[in-house]
Each structure stands twice: as structure tokens, then as C-alpha cells.
Chains A and B, each alone.
Chain A
Amino acid sequence: MAYYAKSKGQRVVDWSVHYGLLACYLFFALFPLFWLFKVAVTPTKLLYSEGIRMWPSEMTWTNFTQVMTDTDFPQFFINSAIVSGSTAFISTLIAAAAGYSFSRFHYRGKAVIIVLMLITQMFPLVMLIAPIFRILTPLGLTDSLLGLVVVYTAFNVPFATFLMQSFFDGIPKDLEEAAMIDGNTRFGALVKIIFPLTLPGIAATLGFVFTAAWSELLFALMLVSSPDAVTFPVGLLTFVSKFSVDFGQMMAAGFLALIPAAIFFFLIQRYLVQGLTAGAVKG
């Protein structure tokens, strides 16, 4: 009501502030991406000679072709894709099961488990590197993609579980009870009724875990050394040598690294924005 009572001048001010703030945010969020691309397409000889310009006087794709052909980056990408994809899949599977149980069942020790999971989120990761290394070495999991998957899964499952639990909490219990009365087992009701409704949550969780694993540097740096198992964030550091930094190739590699994450989010964005439960219950 109050909105309609506002004068035209007031509405223009409101509108300007609203979109002005959005524009500031977008600029802040997207400018680094633009700069990444701009440096990636700037020939090395112009990088330091032209000074700071919004666009170079000459453009080149050489940095991209060099990254793809002359370096180990294709291998790093594949490693990152394997590690991130596996972590996302396994974490989401575990988180969905755990989140469903937290959301639907009452059992002894549930509160303790939840508190323990919260506690795991309270430590800075740096503190844990030495003990993790100590645990993984005898198991032969250092310097391997599997080791990274195990570590990333362990660290992502608690948060992903809370995320999934909140999605299950949003789906009325009545739905699976109705399905059970209609003739499903509890598992059948979960798969046929609850699962399709949780797709947005599953997509969000997959996306969250995937990006976290895709950009993780600390553990990848500490646990992996042979090029066969290096992931792309560690690979980026190879452009930094003792005497120089190859910014052009580094930015090109960084830009290429964005592509899989972008494709992944493009695929799941349909589910992220869907409000499937609308109309399930009175509304």
C-alpha cells in the first residue's frame, strides 16, 4: 500500500538506489573476470609496455593455444574434473542420506552427531594439514586423486548435509506418508515422490561441493606433488617461477578453468530456480 502512496520523485530515487546498488555489486563481482580475460588476450610484449588500459591495442589467442599445447594443463583439468566430479557426487549422495535421516527420523545420538558435524566446521583447515598428511601417508593416499577425493568429501559432507536437511525439511512429511499409504515402501516413497521434489536441493548441493573442490588449493598443494595428480589450482602456480610470472598464460589457464564450472552451473540452474513444491499442500 505504502508503495503506491509514494510520489513519483520518491519512486525514481528508490529505483535509482535499488539498481545503483545492484550495479555496484555486479561491477565488483564481474570486473576481476573481465580483467582475467583482458590480460589473457594481451600479447606479452604489450603487457608491461602499454600501461593500464581497459583493452589492449592488439589481441591474441596465443596464450590460450600455448596453455593447451605446451603445458600440462589439459592433464590438470582432467585431474580437477575427476576430483571435483567424484567429490560432488559422493558428498551429495552421503549428504542426501544423512540429511534425510536428520529431517525425518528421531533416534538416540542424533543431536550428538549434529554437534560433532558442526564442530568439524569450526577449525581452520591449516591446522589439520599435518594430521591429515600423517593419516593419509600410511594408507598410500598422498600424491593420488583418490586421497584428494577422500579429504574433500570428508570436509564437504557436514555442510552439504545441513544444506540437504534444510531442503528435506521443506518437503511436507505428509507427502511420503501419503505415498506409503498409496502402496510405496518408505524407500519407494523417497525415490518416487521425495527425490523429484528435492532436485533443486540436490543441484544446489552438487554445485556447492563441485566449486569448493574445483578451486581448493591448500590440500592439493600439500598432498600432491607428481604432475599426474596435480589439479588445476596447483598447476596455476607453475606459471610463477623464481624470476618471473607468466601472467598471460596464467590468466588464460584461469579463464579456461572457469569453463567447466560455468557449464556445470548452466546445466543445473534449471533446478536451482525451480520451486517444485508449490501446490503440494495448501498454499
Chain B
Amino acid sequence: MASIQITEATKSYGNTAVLHGIDLNIQDGEFIVLVGPSGCGKSTLLRMIAGLEEVTSGSISINERIINDLPPRDRDIAMVFQSYALYPHMSVEENISYAMTLRKSPKEKIASAVNGVSSILGLNGLLERRPKALSGGQRQRVAMGRAIVRDPQAFLFDEPLSNLDARLREQMRSEIRKLHRKLNATSIYVTHDQIEAMTMADRIVAMHDGYIQQVGTPLEIYDKPANVFVASFIGSPAMNFIKGTASASGDGYHLQTDQGHQIILPESSGLKDRMDVILGVRPEHLMIVEEGPASLPATVDLIEPMGLSTLVHVRVGQDSLKIFTLDRPDIAEGTQVHVSYIKEKLHMFDARTEMRLESPV
């Protein structure tokens, strides 16, 4: 198994820079998820680690050995592609054993490795079939099998579940996680799906516009997003944002919103009087209440019942907010309500830099 170090890595196509000075240390056996919207550079970074894209500057090392100039075949890594990339003219068995055959492993060793992998992944009855005779889920398993059988230094996954339906995706998500626990192999997993990132990662690397925005455990990222981008990208339903100006009042600060409301802010060393602030509040930290001193008047726009929970869309002035509740509120669309918030759970960002203003919580 392996640790992977990425130091000051950049990637440009001509004059277009797509990755800017990426620094990342991946521990041996860690499951890292690169997450971000399309075009953020996460797949490019993965392909650079695989050797499918050149590193423009900086370095990538596996076990402290720089591999920038090694061809993919000499890096001892396995990759699962979004499209699965199974060889259509080969049977499942040939697909899985191809890498070992190329390395001229003894036949008995190949056979036992293929058997082992196919029983782990439940492919035993399918070994003779061609990929076209398999369902999407089965193809996905074959692609996994092809990666596992080699016992590589590291696994790379490029959005491997995005072609599956929701139920299968959920199932494969936990299977990949279990498999990782069993093999304990260093894994780098690329996805744009923040739920996959949250549920699978030991650490998440949130990326945007070719920069790493934040690296941390799923809960660190969820509870303390480093900037507005991470706050808005991680979490479903997404975080609500309210713009306003901080103004000192007594011991602390409150936010004078652009809509003319006042919201009491938690303590933060970064706050200054008359500072433009973006306030973030997760839907589960808002609630519908009776009118009170810290409540905001709102109009109910839409109610989305989801069985387990309900998502209430309200409008406070011009700001649209989402409220997540496990109750089934007895209100109709269009009614006037009051909304309150958990002060300690508010996130504050400097409106100019969009960076987090630390609070003691």
C-alpha cells in the first residue's frame, strides 16, 4: 500500500490553467474523496495521478518516489472509470485477468485471483459472458474486479457510480466502503455527488476552479466550511445565505440584513462594525415558531413533503430560505409565519473574501 504526496502540482492546456498549485498528502490506506462541480479539475488531478495527463509543474510522489515521468503501466495503480471501460471483445474473466496476463503471472495464480475476486463481487456465474450481456450494476462490479485483482498500491475511482440508478448507487456505495475496509488500500475517489463524498470519505477534498478549497473529514467540512463555496456545495438541502452588514450592539454584533431585518450574530474575532457579511444557516437550523423577539416574518412559498421529513420554502423579504423539519407542519402555502434560528449554528463569511469568520463554536 502507499502514501501519495502531491506538491505544488499545476496543469495547463496551452495558456489555460486548470489546476493551480495543488498540495495534498494522502496517508497510507486513506479513502480520499475529491469533490466539486463539473470543470473544477478533480478528474484532471486524478488522471495526473494515474499518469494519463502530464503534470505541468510540481510533483506527484507515491511512497516518496516522484512518479511524474513514469508511464501509467509502471505506477502500479488501478483505476475504475465512469464508463467502466470494459474490453468489449473479452469475456468477464479475460477482462478481470487482463492485467495479470500482461504481467505474465502464472496461470494457477491468475485463476485463483480471478476466483477470489469474483466471489467477493458475486460474479461467479458471469465469468464467460461478454460485457454487453451484463447489466449496468454487473459491469460496474467487473470494473471493480479488474481493479482489485491486481492488488495495486492505490485505487483511483473516476465517478464510478454516476451511471447507476439511485438504489444501485446506494448499494454500491456501501459495498465500495466495505471493500475498502477489507483491503485497506489507499483510494482516491472523484465525484460531484456530495452525498457520496460525505458517506464514503475519510477525508474530503473540496475543489473549485482548479483550487483546493478545503480538506477535512466529512463532519469538519459540514460543520465548519472554510468559505461560501464549500458551505453551499456540501449539504443537501443546501445552506441558506443571507447578506447584510454587521453592526455592533452592546456586547456583540447583529446583522442588519439587506431586507431590513436584524439577526443576532454569534461571537467572532473576525467581526468588525459595518463589515459586509454573508450569513449561512443550514436548513435544519431554522424553524417555524410563534412570533418572538428573535424571529423573522416570512411567507411560505412551497412545502415539499418527503415522508421522513418536510422541506418548507419560505421568503423573508427577498431572501428565499429552506427549512428542514422532521415534523409535518400544518401550514398552507402562502401563509405568514415566523422563522427563528439557532444562533450558535450560524456560519459567518466575510462578504468581500467569502472566507469563514471563525466563531468559538
Give A182-215 interface residues, CB cut-off 8 Å to B. 182-185, 188, 193, 196-197
Give A260-283 interface residues, CB cut-off 8 Å to B. 276-283
Q: Which residue of A lies closest to B130 (CB)?
A: A279
- Docked pose: A282 CA to B161 CA in angstroms: 11
Query: Provided the pairs A279-B130, A280-B131, A282-B139 are in contact, do residues A181 and B50 lie with their beta carbons within 8 angstroms?
Result: yes
Q: How far is the CB of B8 from chain A (nearest CB, A)?
A: 25
Q: Is the CB of A279 within 8 A of B79?
A: no
- Docked pose: A216 CA to B82 CA in angstroms: 47
- Docked pose: A183 CA to B103 CA in angstroms: 7
- Docked pose: A250 CA to B51 CA in angstroms: 62
* Choice from B77, B133, B146 contacting A279 with Cβ under 8 Å: B133
Binds A, one of B86-94, B205-213, B234-242, B271-279: B86-94
Q: Is the CB of A185 within 8 A of B73?
A: yes
Q: Hey, which chain B residues are within 8 Å of A178, CB to CB? A: 79, 81, 85, 87, 146
* Choice from A175, A197, A278 contacting B85 with Cβ under 8 Å: A175
Query: Provided the pairs A178-B79, A180-B52, A183-B102 are in contact, do residues A280 and B72 lie with their beta carbons within 8 angstroms?
Result: no
* Size category, A interface: 20 to 34
Q: Hey, which chain A residues are within 8 Å of B50, CB to CB? A: 177, 181
- Docked pose: A177 CA to B82 CA in angstroms: 12
Q: Hey, which chain A residues are within 8 Å of B79, CB to CB? A: 177-178, 181
- Docked pose: A276 CA to B73 CA in angstroms: 26
Q: Is the CB of A282 within 8 A of B131?
A: no
Q: Is the CB of A174 within 8 A of B81?
A: yes
Main secondary structure of the interface of B (DSSP, over half): loop
Interface assignment of A179: CB less than 8 Å from any CB of chain B: yes
Which of B50, B84, B85, B163 is most buried by chain A, counting CB atoms within 10 A of its CB? B85
| Count of A-B residue pairs with CB < 8 Å | 84
Interface assignment of A20: CB less than 8 Å from any CB of chain B: no
Q: Is the CB of B78 within 8 A of A197?
A: no
Query: Provided the pairs A282-B139, A282-B163 are in contact, do residues A172 and B73 lie with their beta carbons within 8 angstroms?
Result: no
- Docked pose: A181 CA to B52 CA in angstroms: 9
Give B109-144 interface residues, CB cut-off 8 Å to A. 130-134, 136, 139
Q: Is the CB of B136 within 8 A of A281?
A: no
Q: Hey, which chain A residues are within 8 Å of B72, CB to CB? A: 177, 180-181
Q: Hey, which chain B residues are within 8 Å of A280, CB to CB? A: 83, 85-88, 131-132
Q: Hey, which chain A residues are within 8 Å of B86, CB to CB? A: 279-281
* Choice from B77, B88, B134, B136 contacting A181 with Cβ under 8 Å: B77
- Docked pose: A174 CA to B50 CA in angstroms: 12
Query: Provided the pairs A182-B98, A183-B99, A183-B103 are in contact, do residues A279 and B52 lie with their beta carbons within 8 angstroms?
Result: no
Query: Provided the pairs A181-B50, A181-B78 are in contact, do residues A279 and B73 lie with their beta carbons within 8 angstroms?
Result: no
Q: Is the CB of A180 within 8 A of B88?
A: no
Q: Is the CB of B71 within 8 A of A185?
A: yes
Q: Hey, which chain A residues are within 8 Å of B89, CB to CB? A: 196-197, 276
- Docked pose: A215 CA to B58 CA in angstroms: 59
Q: How far is the CB of A185 from chain B (nearest CB, A)?
A: 7
Q: Hey, which chain B residues are within 8 Å of A281, CB to CB? A: 83-86
Which of A174, A179, A185, A279 is most buried by chain B, counting CB atoms within 10 A of its CB? A279
Q: Which residue of B lies closest to A178 (CB)?
A: B85
Q: Which residue of B lies closest to A174 (CB)?
A: B85
Q: Is the CB of B132 within 8 A of A283?
A: yes
Q: How far is the CB of B361 from chain A (nearest CB, A)?
A: 45
- Docked pose: A281 CA to B88 CA in angstroms: 8
Query: Provided the pairs A182-B102, A282-B136 are in contact, do residues A177 and B88 lie with their beta carbons within 8 angstroms?
Result: no
Q: How far is the CB of A46 from chain B (nearest CB, A)?
A: 55
Q: Hey, which chain A residues are within 8 Å of B78, CB to CB? A: 181
Query: Provided the pairs A174-B83, A178-B79, A183-B99 are in contact, do residues A279 and B136 lie with their beta carbons within 8 angstroms?
Result: no
Q: Hey, which chain B residues are within 8 Å of A276, CB to CB? A: 88-89
- Docked pose: A188 CA to B163 CA in angstroms: 29
Q: Is the CB of B84 within 8 A of A282?
A: yes
- Docked pose: A255 CA to B52 CA in angstroms: 54
- Docked pose: A283 CA to B86 CA in angstroms: 12
Q: Which residue of A lies closest to B103 (CB)?
A: A183
Q: Hey, which chain A residues are within 8 Å of B163, CB to CB? A: 282
Q: Which residue of B lies closest to A278 (CB)?
A: B132
Q: Is the CB of B81 within 8 A of A279?
A: no
Q: How far is the CB of A150 from chain B (nearest CB, A)?
A: 35
Q: Hey, which chain B residues are within 8 Å of A181, CB to CB? A: 50-52, 72-73, 75, 77-79
Given contacts A177-B50, A193-B87, A280-B88, 6 further A-B contacts (CB under 8 A): A177-B72, A180-B52, A185-B73, A278-B88, A279-B131, A280-B131
- Chain B contact residues, CB within 8 Å of chain A: 50-52, 71-73, 75, 77-79, 81-89, 98-99, 102-103, 130-134, 136, 139, 146, 150, 163
- Chain A contact residues, CB within 8 Å of chain B: 172, 174-175, 177-185, 188, 193, 196-197, 276-283
> What are 24 A-B contacts with C-beta separation under 8 Å?
A172-B83, A174-B81, A175-B85, A177-B72, A179-B87, A180-B72, A181-B52, A181-B78, A182-B99, A182-B150, A185-B73, A197-B89, A276-B89, A278-B88, A278-B132, A279-B130, A279-B132, A280-B85, A280-B131, A281-B84, A281-B86, A282-B136, A282-B163, A283-B132
Q: Which 6 A-B pairs have the closest CB atoms?
A: A279-B132, A281-B83, A174-B85, A183-B102, A178-B85, A280-B88
